[in-house]
Amino acid sequence: MKPPVDSELAKSFLDIARRADETHQRLAPAIANWQKIADQFFKQYSSVLTKQRLDELERIASRSLAITASLKTIQDFERAKASLLGKGSELDSLVKQIAHLPVDQRKHVGAANNAVKALISTALQDAKSNIEIVDLESRLASERADVTLPVRLGGMADGRIHPVSQVFDEIAEIFADMGFRIAEGPDIETDDLNFTKLNIPAEHPARQMHDTFYLKTPNTAQGTNAAPFVLRTHTSPVQIRTMMSQKPPIRIIAPGRVYRMDSDATHTPMFHQIEGLVIDESTHFGHMKWCLEEFCKAFFEVDQVKMRFRASHFPFTEPSAEVDVGAEAIGKPGQWLEILGCGMVHPKVIANCGLDPEKYQGWAFGMGLDRITMLKYGIPDLRDMFAADLRWLRHYGFSAFDVPTLAGGMSG
């Protein structure tokens, strides 16, 4: 038997390569490689196999490779792999015939079958990688984004950021610049964190001031004495959560919903507060005054702001103060606007959180988010803020692109 210099197989390969070249340009080098493997095969087996068997293998190989070279999709590939190499394929039935051959032929025929099988597997893998590359290239070409096009607003233009969210972003931006992180706590709090650890023990009159929503106590395995849950009446429990889980120095602000049984023109049962807490070994009331003054100037976007600290009382701060801002800041001279409560964190509160009050001290404030939103943006009625009226939101809301920055302006 002659080596296959001008075998049918070699010719059909060239033909495959030519056709593949039109569709799957990249496959050409792989096809040349298949041919090299096939030539090798014939050199090896032409002297040991019958002409009939050689022709049979050549036919299978050439048909399989023609199919493989024309595969266009991964689904085509999966189907071809099953039909060319799987159970019931031509190669499979050739393998099954081996048992009926004379013993001296079995070894050669088996090895030849395997060699053709290996060739087809290699070809299928090449075709698969080729399909994946061609797919990727066509996706990259068709999904190309032109970054020079102007922004298309689409649905973004209809959506509105609620003024309270916008104001929170403004406040976060200002305090972030002073090194504060954002902390969070749950709306459903334990009585212990909302009151007791904040130095408001059971029967303390301050509990009545808060008109608390109590939740039914779940029946626990411990019996009926389990501490009740409340809808938090202020964001101050986040102070406790932070001091219990973090070592000083601490600098956080914590925004969130709070709840009190209260409803009239200036009160809604749900409203928003933002808490601030700073704890380290030496921070004092003066630092707090400076931070709050810087905050007010940045927030109201004025160079000068008048502030008044009135002595007050909160069980968790000592001394405590309520802070008013001169209404010049919002263009209404001659009045004072109350915006927040604050004070030095009570040593008992620091101790309740497992920190040493001899070593650590700090200050905290709590501000009504809705109130300062109304002041800054001239919103007349608190209740409208939570009425979910789209006309109101369209009027008072902000575009998603009005991102407040210190450099670019607070109001977007």
Instruction: Report the interface residues with ligand PHE, using CB under 6 A.
Output: 234, 236, 275, 314, 317, 341-343, 364-366
Query: Minimal distance in Å, beta carbon 355 to ligand PHE?
Result: 17
Taking the least distance from each CB to ligand PHE, the nearer of 72 and 287 is 287
- Report the distance separating Cα 32 and Cα 338, nearest Å: 84
Give the orientation angle of helix 163-177 with respect to helix 369-377, to 10 degrees. 100
Whether cis (ω within 30° of 0) applies to the bond prior to 249 is: yes
**Closest residue by Cα to residue 197 from 351, 312, 313:** 351
CB 202, CB 237: distance < 8 Å: no
CB 196, CB 202: distance < 8 Å: yes
- Report the distance separating Cα 346 and Cα 204, nearest Å: 16
Taking the least distance from each CB to ligand PHE, the nearer of 319 and 412 is 319
Query: Minimal distance in Å, beta carbon 369 to ligand PHE?
Result: 12
Query: Minimal distance in Å, beta carbon 304 to ligand PHE?
Result: 25
Query: Minimal distance in Å, beta carbon 266 to ligand PHE?
Result: 15
Residue nearest ligand PHE, Cβ-based = 366
Strand partners, 188: 231
Query: Minimal distance in Å, beta carbon 236 to ligand PHE?
Result: 4
Three-point CA angle 340, 357, 311, nearest 5°: 30
Query: Minimal distance in Å, beta carbon 382 to ligand PHE?
Result: 16
User: DSSP string spanning 133-200?
Assistant: HHHHHHHHHHT---TTSPPP-GGGGT--B-HHHHHHHHHHHHHHHTTPEE----SEEEHHHHTGGGT-
Query: Minimal distance in Å, beta carbon 322 to ligand PHE?
Result: 8
Two structure tokens written together for 148: 């020079």
Q: What is the CA radius of gyration of the chain?
A: 39
Taking the least distance from each CB to ligand PHE, the nearer of 42 and 314 is 314
Taking the least distance from each CB to ligand PHE, the nearer of 116 and 353 is 353
CA 53 to each of CA 56, 112, 115, 214: distance values in angstroms, whole numbers, following the listed order? 5, 10, 14, 89
Taking the least distance from each CB to ligand PHE, the nearer of 195 and 396 is 195
Taking the least distance from each CB to ligand PHE, the nearer of 234 and 376 is 234
Taking the least distance from each CB to ligand PHE, the nearer of 133 and 261 is 261
Query: Minimal distance in Å, beta carbon 197 to ligand PHE?
Result: 13
Maximum Cα–Cα distance for the chain, whole Å?
114
Question: DSSP 3-state assignment of 409?
Answer: strand
Taking the least distance from each CB to ligand PHE, the nearer of 53 and 260 is 260
